[in-house]
Structures are given as structure tokens and as C-alpha cells.
Amino acid sequence: MRRPPALVLLNPAARHGRARRLWDRVRREVEERFESSVVEADPGDIWKADVRASLRSGTRVFVAAGGDGTVHALAGAIVEAREDVPLGDIRLGAVGLGSSNDFHKPFGCLHSGIPFRLDVDRAMPRDLGRVRWVDVEGRDRESVLVVSASAGVVAEGNALFTSCPLGRLLPSLAIAIAALRAIARNRSSRFFLRHDESQEQIELSSLSVLKTQWLSGSLRYDLPVAADDGFFGVALCEAMGRRRLLGTLAGLARGHFTGHPGTRTFRTAALEVGADAPFLLEIDGEVGLVRRAAFELFPERLLACA
């Protein structure tokens, strides 16, 4: 049987620079399934031209070989380049070479300890979020959301993890250290939320906007959210001090969140977030400083490989 063509985006910088070595372990698994061509992520995003050319030539399978940020980048490039190709015609696969690989969770297929989603025959529809935000210079920006986004302590933790040298060899420990450092630095801030025709002001400690229950490493929420349910799951921590945040972190390590003092969850198809001052916004592991952000879902779903 003829193997379908596929474009693989390999991010050598994933897992703090270990991705190329990890890729060598699973390369054969990809080559046995697809007639694949590999392009490497680069700072200038030259690889995006390959995505556009592949779509125009009829390729409909794309594989992100890296972490959640690589999945995010590839999904965004597909949306930018697809022109009149329906998202439902596109299969998005992944090889988890990152530190947390939340897109893959719960882990199913593993090869040499590396999770992968490469089964195009069992690909399932997956919601794709659109995030529009205003950066600190007042410029309008736009991005996709595949896994999750955050503000407050969770976004701070993601930023700290990126710079933690332990992330190369001991990602679980690095995640824990980053979370504890973020909690130690936490200062609740006044945020403005708009959703489901309601507006509110809160003292925000942490905000997660989710298309998965998984947060990072073994940390996970217990709110009902599915990849294709047409809603974001939203998890809030309000006006929490360090002790309560530590208790919430311990709960997340066991998959418990709902019902803890100071927590709140809801589902929504759209959300707007703003604050009195610029704040860190994390989207699929990528962190930046913004003034406000709006979340919505694309009307189409792409197909995520099993």
C-alpha cells in the first residue's frame, strides 16, 4: 500500500536542544507510515514556505516533531497557508520530543519512551482556538490555540521553566521548581473578564483556558473539557496567597482542582481578558507580554491523528 505524503516539522530546539537526538529514535516509525519530507524550524520561519508549498501540491498530513510549541507553530502555519483547503481535510500528527507533550496526553502510542500520534485512519476532529491579543506596543496580534493558554501563576511558571537548565534532563523536577518559584513571586492583580454575555472584575492569581485537562507534567485539572466539544474549559484561582496556591498545586498533582477554596471553573465558547497593567500570556507554551486577549473557536475542526 502506498504511503501518504507527509511534511514533518522538526524543532531541534525542543527539550532544551535534545530533540534531534530523540528524533533519531523514532524517525523509522514515521518513515514506515509516510512518504515524509522533513523541514527544520528556524528563527526566521522560512519553513512556513514549505507548509504552503506542500498544501498546494496536495499534501494533507503534517507532523509536528517537537513539543507543544511545535504543534502550535505548525497548526498556525497550516491555518495561514491553507487558502481554500478545509481544515477537516488536514491530518495533524505529532511526535512528542518536548518536555511535557500535553498534546499527546494521556499517552497512547510510545516508541523508545517517546509519545506519538501518527494514525491517520483513526484521526478525530479537534477544536482549534483563535487568540487575538494586543501587545505592549499596541499592535494587534493573532495566534492559534491547540492545547491551552494561561495568565497569572501558570504563565509565570511556564516562563520560568523555559529558562530552567534542569529542563534538559529532568523536566518533571524543572516543572515543579518553576511552579514553586512562580508561587513565591505571585501577586494577585485585578483582571477584567467577559464571557457568556457577562462581565466581571476579579483579583486573579491564575487563569487557564483549556482544550485538555492536562496542565504540565503530571499536573492536571478535573473539569470536563474535550478536544471536540465546542467549548473552552476555564479554570480560575482568585485572590490566593502562597499557602493556598501551594495547596492548589498539590491538588493538581493528584488531578483535583474543582471545589478547592478560591477556585472556579466554567465552560465558554468565547472569552475576553484584560488587566490594569500588561500581563504575561502563555499560549501552548509560548509566553509574551500583552495588554488584553480574546479567545474564540474556529468554526471548522481539523483532524488530529490518534
Q: 3-state class of 90 per DSSP?
A: coil
Q: What are phi and psi of 56, to 5 degrees?
A: -65, -30
pLDDT (tens digit per residue) in 222-258: 999 999 999 999 999 999 999 999 999 999 999 999 9
What percent of the chain has pLDDT above 70? Answer: 98
Per-position b or e across 225-257, b if 16+ CB within 10 A of its CB? bebeeebbbbbbbbebeeebbeebbebbeeeeb
167: CB partners within 8 A, 6+ apart: 15, 16, 99, 161, 174, 175
Region class of 17: left (phi > 0), else alpha (psi between -120 and 50), else beta: left
What pLDDT is attached to residue 181? 93
What pLDDT is attached to residue 198? 92
**Mean per-residue pLDDT, 298-303:** 97
State how far the alpha carbon of 131 is from the alpha carbons of 143, 206, 226, 242, 259, in Å: 5, 18, 18, 30, 28
Distance CA 272, CA 261 (A): 24
Chain center to CA of 92: 14
Taken in order of first residue, the domains within the chain and their CATH numbers are 5-122 (3.40.50.10330), 129-299 (2.60.200.40)
Q: 3-state class of 186 per DSSP?
A: coil
- Mean pLDDT rounded to a whole number for the chain: 95
What pLDDT is attached to residue 42? 95
109's enclosing H/E stretch is strand 109-111
Q: pTM for the whole thing?
A: 0.94
Of the ranges 9-23, 105-119, 160-174, 242-256, which one carries the lowest mean pLDDT score? 160-174
Between residues 168 and 68, the one the model is more confident about? 68
Distance CA 33, CA 167 (A): 31
